Homo-oligomer: A and B are copies of this chain.
Amino acid sequence: MAVDTRLDETIRLALAEDVGPGDVTTTAVVPAEAQAEAQAVAKQDLIVAGAEVAARVFTLMDASLQVAQKIPDGSPATRGDVILEVAGPARSILIAERVALNFLMHLSGVATLTRALVDAVAGTAARIIDTRKTTPGLRALEKRAVRSGGGHNHRFALYDGVLIKDNHIRAAGSISTAVGAVKAEVHHLLKIEVEVTDLDELDEALAAGVDAVLLDNMSLADMAEAVKRYGDRVVLEASGNVTLATVRSIAETGVDLISVGALTHSAPAADISLRFLD
């Protein structure tokens, strides 16, 4: 498999952060030759994500560790299920444990929240997508966790998609000026999305020839009207105040995409612990 040097670098930084010049407890207490086996066990129902990352934490710490992933990323685990097994030098397992779990718990938390929202809109045409409101340094992993949860991704970053927001429009003078400027500048494989807050702006955006529209904090009624007017011509993305309680109503307006910052910035960690076997 292709080595992901970005992932390895992210893990190395996390290990350096936690281990630094050494684990004073483990080095003193655990003999160098001691062997151990341990299991990452779900302490709640959850959707697994980041198990490959956690596995890589162990093997980057010590290439002699044997790691077996028992539940693939994207699958559900029930409380008590074993997600990952690791065996080898006890010191290495103990030293890497916290970093491996920190990745696994956070990313499974993201996937678990995503799945809840995806399930809530089941049967509608709407996709749940993420945003750029990610944890600094962890965007690629969090976006992968969103997919593990059944969600889809928005653009990755500022460089792989055009999203014209209100402040861009203010700087340009109008929606059509902004759209025109983008068309003159960006390469021919990027589509253009514009953020609008009401139906007038929506009409103006469509007139300017955009490919997608972000309906920001609009009422359900206005969203439905937007779908009615342009649902067959452009991609419509709903955004703002999306919760488990509101998401289905939003989906039922007929929008194509519902973007949710909370997927990555507010998902509680999934409860997972490492159990050592005798």
Contact = CB atoms under 8 A, between A and B. Distances in A.
Contact of A160 (B109, B139, B159, B178): B159
Contact of A3 (B11, B23, B36, B63): B63
A64 B1 contact: yes
Contacts of A211: 189
A44 interface: no
A153 B10 CA distance: 24
A30 interface: yes
Contacts of A129: 187
Interface string A18-42: 1111111111111100101010000
A47 interface: no
A161 B17 CA distance: 14
A90 B171 contact: yes
A99 B156 CA distance: 13
Contacts of A132: 18, 98, 102
Q: Which of A28, A155, A171, A190 has the most CB of B within 10 A?
A: A28
Given A136-B10, A137-B17, A190-B190, A167 B94 contact: yes
Q: Which of A18, A155, A158, A187 has the most CB of B within 10 A?
A: A158
A233 B29 CA distance: 24
Interface string A52-83: 00000000111110000000000000000000
A197 interface: no
A30 B256 contact: no
Interface in A254-278: 256-257, 261-262, 265-266, 268-269, 276, 278
A109 to B, nearest CB: 7
Instruction: Place the interface of chain A in its size category.
Output: 35 or more
Contact of A136 (B1, B2, B17, B163): B17
A61 to B, nearest CB: 6
19 contacts: A2-B89, A3-B62, A10-B137, A17-B139, A19-B158, A24-B161, A25-B158, A26-B158, A36-B167, A101-B133, A102-B136, A105-B133, A105-B265, A153-B187, A156-B159, A159-B160, A161-B189, A170-B276, A170-B278
Interface of A: 1-3, 5-6, 10-31, 34, 36, 38, 60-64, 89-92, 94-95, 98-99, 101-103, 105-106, 109, 129, 132-140, 152-168, 170-172, 178, 181-182, 184-193, 211-212, 235, 237, 256-257, 261-262, 265-266, 268-269, 276, 278
